Amino acid sequence: MSVVTAATRFNALNYNPKRPNGSCPTVDDVRQDLIVLSKYTDTLRIYSIKDCNQGEPVLRAMEGTSWKLQLGMWVGTDDTAYNADKAELIRLSGVFDLSKNVKALIVGSEASYRKDQTTAQVAAKVREMRGVLSDLKLQSIPISVSETWPFYDQNLIDAVDYINVHVFPFWEGSTIQESNDVLFGHLYDLRNIAKGKKIVVGETGWPTSGDNYGDAVPSLSNSLTFMGQFICRANKENFDYSYFTSFDTPWASTNNASNVESHWGIIEGDYKTPKFQGDDWFSCDSVLRELESQSDLHSSSSSSASSSSLKPTGTSNSSSTGTSTASEKSDDSVSAGSSSSKSSATLSTTLSFQNLLVFLFSLYISCALFI
């Protein structure tokens, strides 16, 4: 995993090669994109091989270079897209040496979150594709599933070579101040059930424009703050990631809760202009010092902050690929769990204090009788 000290480099970026007007890419289009993105990363993730016939131009543009690709397969309500991607993968294995540029195969993106297929169904596809790769002599390519954190269950964990999880504090309505801890809290919870498997953040980010979602406010400054805090802490704690996303997507649907779907890119919708100024968008030394300072402040004030709580609402983002659009959903079970845990902790503290008072009073009475 590369070491990132500033926002000029990302471990990987999510990428949809569709053009700003929604048309399909040519090899030259992708090559131009790679020139723009080479300043920021050497690894991209796409969501489908066959959709817009994007697999071949992306692989052709990367051929003979050091670029790496996380090759995605789309899983929808039926197996039409999945089967098309599988057939195209097999065909392309005869055109390219996939072992040179393909870093991973990712089967599905939020299919269980969208309720398109169960985690057991997606896990079965992972096992099928492992057999396909073996038949193609490509068994060295690891396989994963991209899924939101509430849906990454034991079916998926047991099937994948590594965990590729989506976490979006924005879609949980988190403030920018609490978003960093919200995100890593989910990673720690997942690590507890991961059976030692590597956890990669397959998508996370913060939109630069659009409408608020709960306490989450899209803006350039908040996007940069989230980016810096996430990247610096991820590097410090050795979490690999693919950041969402490369370019703004003017072609994306606006049919979503907060009108943010086209505004997640680090590059404007012209596919050329960086959203943030300068070469070094932030310094991890400064970011980590600030995070440590906030942590110390939180620790020193936590005893007097029992009346405050994080927003208990949990939602997840489903990212666009092909003609799919982002969607949001409240996770009531997670909300209830968060609220219940907070209430239980407060109640426990209250009862402990009451017990102490009873003990001291009893001690006082005993001493008085003895005297």
Query: pLDDT digit string (tens) for 313-332?
Result: 333 333 333 333 333 333 33
Enumerate residues 6+ apart whose C-beta is below 8 A from 17: 25, 29, 30, 33, 46, 52, 54, 57, 58
Helix (H) or strand (E) holding 124: helix 119-135
Q: Is residue 234 part of a domain?
A: yes
The total of other beta-carbon atoms located within 10 Å of residue 303's CB is: 8
CA dihedral 268, 272, 278, 282 (to 10 degrees): 50
pLDDT tens digits for 192-224?
A: 999 999 999 999 999 999 999 999 999 999 999
Q: State the residue range of the domain holding 217.
A: 13-299
- With a cut of 60, say whether residue 91 has pLDDT above it: yes
Residue 297: per-residue pLDDT: 60
pLDDT tens digits for 26-65?
A: 999 999 999 999 999 999 999 999 999 999 999 999 999 9
pLDDT tens digits for 102-141?
A: 999 999 999 999 999 999 999 999 999 999 999 999 999 9
Half-sphere exposure of 236 (CA within 13 A, CB side): 15
Read off the amino acid at residue 263: H
Residue 310: per-residue pLDDT: 29
Residue 69: per-residue pLDDT: 98
Q: Is residue 260 part of a domain?
A: yes
Q: What SS3 state is found at 350? A: helix
Domain CATH code at residue 258 = 3.20.20.80
Cβ(97)–Cβ(35) below 8 Å: no
At residue 230 the predicted structure's pLDDT band, cuts being 50, 70 and 90, is very high
- With a cut of 50, say whether residue 368 has pLDDT above it: no
Residue 166: strand pairing partners: 148, 203
Selected residue with higher pLDDT from 308 and 199? 199
Q: Is residue 306 part of a domain?
A: no
Nearest-angstrom CA–CA distance, 265 and 275 = 8
Selected residue with higher pLDDT from 356 and 22? 22
Residue 312: per-residue pLDDT: 27
Q: Is residue 348 part of a domain?
A: no
At residue 299 the predicted structure's pLDDT band, cuts being 50, 70 and 90, is low
Number of domains in the chain: 1
Enumerate residues 6+ apart whose C-beta is below 8 A from 296: none
Residues in the chain: 371
Helix (H) or strand (E) holding 102: strand 102-109
pLDDT tens digits for 176-193?
A: 999 999 999 999 999 999
Average per-residue pLDDT for the chain: 83
> What pTM did the predictor assign?
0.80
- Separation in Å, CA 88 to CA 52, 55, 56, 175: 12, 8, 9, 42
Residue 258: per-residue pLDDT: 82
What value does the mean pLDDT take over residues 364-370?
42
